[in-house]
Structure 1
Amino acid sequence: MYAGGRPNRWARFLNRISAIVFSLGVVGHGAVTLETVNPQSRTLLTLPLVIASYEGNEYAVSMLGQGSRWVRNVRAARGKAVIHAGRRRSVVLEEVQADARAPILKAYLAQAPGARPHIPVEQSEPVDAFAAIAADFPVFKIRDAQ
């Protein structure tokens, strides 16, 4: 459904439905809707996302890697985004350095089973196995906007 890192028509349809349901806040388990703005066209990008919890913090992980539109939008917006899960929450996403991502990626796979086909390491592998792919999968620490 994500050939070349881009959603096909069916995936886009399912993402729209999931984004609506996740935004209501009824799913739980870290299911949210992430809203970012394209800095050039000023168009809103809304997509479903599972937030990873690790050591008391929340993280947004790009299961499709560096080329995800939301990642580009967040970087261009200096981390500004909105998370919607029952209520809208303005946040700042701070990119985690690649050398600190491995344990977060492992935790993410445990919490987001839908991401498993996109990340080339089995969830049962040790953290060291995730270090080899960590640079390919952006991770952002979520902080409330001030």
Structure 2
Amino acid sequence: MNINISNLISGIMVMSLGALFLILSFGINTSSSELFDAAFLPQVYTILLIAFGLVITVNAFNKRNDERGENNYRGPVLAMITMIIYIFLIPVTGYYLATFLMILSFLLLVKFKHKILLIIVPIIGILLIYLIFDLLLNVPIPMGLLFQ
């Protein structure tokens, strides 16, 4: 039986995160008894996340071989490690610096070659986030321990 290890690992991790977030979403305090309360949308998203993880896991057992070979799980694992580091960096370095580093890491992970765009793309991404969320919508962005 041919098993795609990267899909198997990714699917299990996505389903696990979805299950964790689904459990956490039941703890959202709502004062209303309506169907569409504050916990409704997070629960829908986490159920979809679990379903997509299940699809990925089932596809891991597909009979077709992947063209890239057996050791193609390096990219998804590095992407997940990058996201975990990003989540832990936000409270320390702040959202903007952590997001800049995360976008830069993903560009390096996919072997982006253009040196100028390697710096410009994360800067433009951070500027757009700043303009939309901080200036336009007045959403408070975590500044982190380094910038407080």
- TM-score scaled by structure 2? 0.30
Q: Which has the larger radius of gyration?
A: 2
Using structure 1 for the length normalisation, give the TM-score.
Answer: 0.31
Higher normalized helix content (fraction of residues): 2
**Quick check: which one's strand share is greater?**
1
